[in-house]
Amino acid sequence: MFITLHRFNANFKTQVASFNLKLGSMVFGSETFKYHLDAAFFNEIGQSEVRGSDVDATVTVDRKREDYFELKIECSGTLVIACDRCLDDLEHEVETTYEIGVKLSGTDYDDSRDELLIIPESWRELDVAPLVRDTVLLTIPMTHVHAHGECNREMESLLSDHAAEGLNDAAGSETAPEQDENVEGNVDPRWAALLKLKENN
């Protein structure tokens, strides 16, 4: 039931906290846990668009009652993701705080509410990794592109070429530079374009 993260071995125990918080044995009051989030942290649950990460996270747990905890998740740093327009690396600044109550109640797990997480009374621990991960990932806007003029122009024009051919409706640039006559045969034109770009570099 609990996901145990083995990434931080025992040698680092004093510097890096475990994501598995032992709620059941916490004293009343506040306790703080600090983490550094790398790209592996975001990618270990499967596909993710995170290429790089240098994000610090602080989780403060305030045990208010026997069965109720207030969690405050503060994250700041930088993610590297792909630009939607040119696919080059794009730095995304993360500066966010998420607060959620955690209540021990009954036997069911219920995360359907934004501000309250209900976990079974029998749980002595809570893995906060998914909460921390979502807190950071939710800061990525639906459309993330470089500032005007900062895209990789070569890649952008190649992609918009194919947009003009109707292969990629999402690329969306209006400029459609002249067709590349060398791209032919059975090779997917997008791959051909990438190969050509590579050859030219």
Query: Which positions lie near Zn ion, rule CB under 5 A?
Result: 83, 85-86, 146, 151
Q: How far is the CB of 160 from Zn ion (least distance, A)?
A: 12
Q: Which is nearer to Zn ion, 30 or 78 (CB)?
A: 78
Contacts of 133 (CB under 8 A, 6+ apart): 37, 41, 42, 45
Q: Which is nearer to Zn ion, 82 or 116 (CB)?
A: 82
Could you give the CA distance from residue 34 to residue 129 in angstroms, rounded to a whole number?
A: 12
Look up tokens 């021990």; give the residue.
104
Residue nearest to Zn ion (CB): 83
HEC string of 15-71 equals: CCCCCEECHHHCCCEEEEEEEEECHHHHHCCCCCCCCEEEEEEEEEEEEEECCEEEE
Q: How far is the CB of 84 from Zn ion (least distance, A)?
A: 7
Q: How far is the CB of 14 from Zn ion (least distance, A)?
A: 41
Q: Which is nearer to Zn ion, 75 or 86 (CB)?
A: 86
**Contact between residue 136 and residue 74 where contact means Cβ atoms under 8 Å apart:** no
Q: Which is nearer to Zn ion, 59 or 163 (CB)?
A: 163
**Contact between residue 50 and residue 41 where contact means Cβ atoms under 8 Å apart:** no
Q: How far is the CB of 145 from Zn ion (least distance, A)?
A: 5
Q: How far is the CB of 44 from Zn ion (least distance, A)?
A: 27
Could you give the CA distance from residue 67 to residue 45 in angstroms, rounded to a whole number?
A: 29
Q: Which is nearer to Zn ion, 83 or 136 (CB)?
A: 83
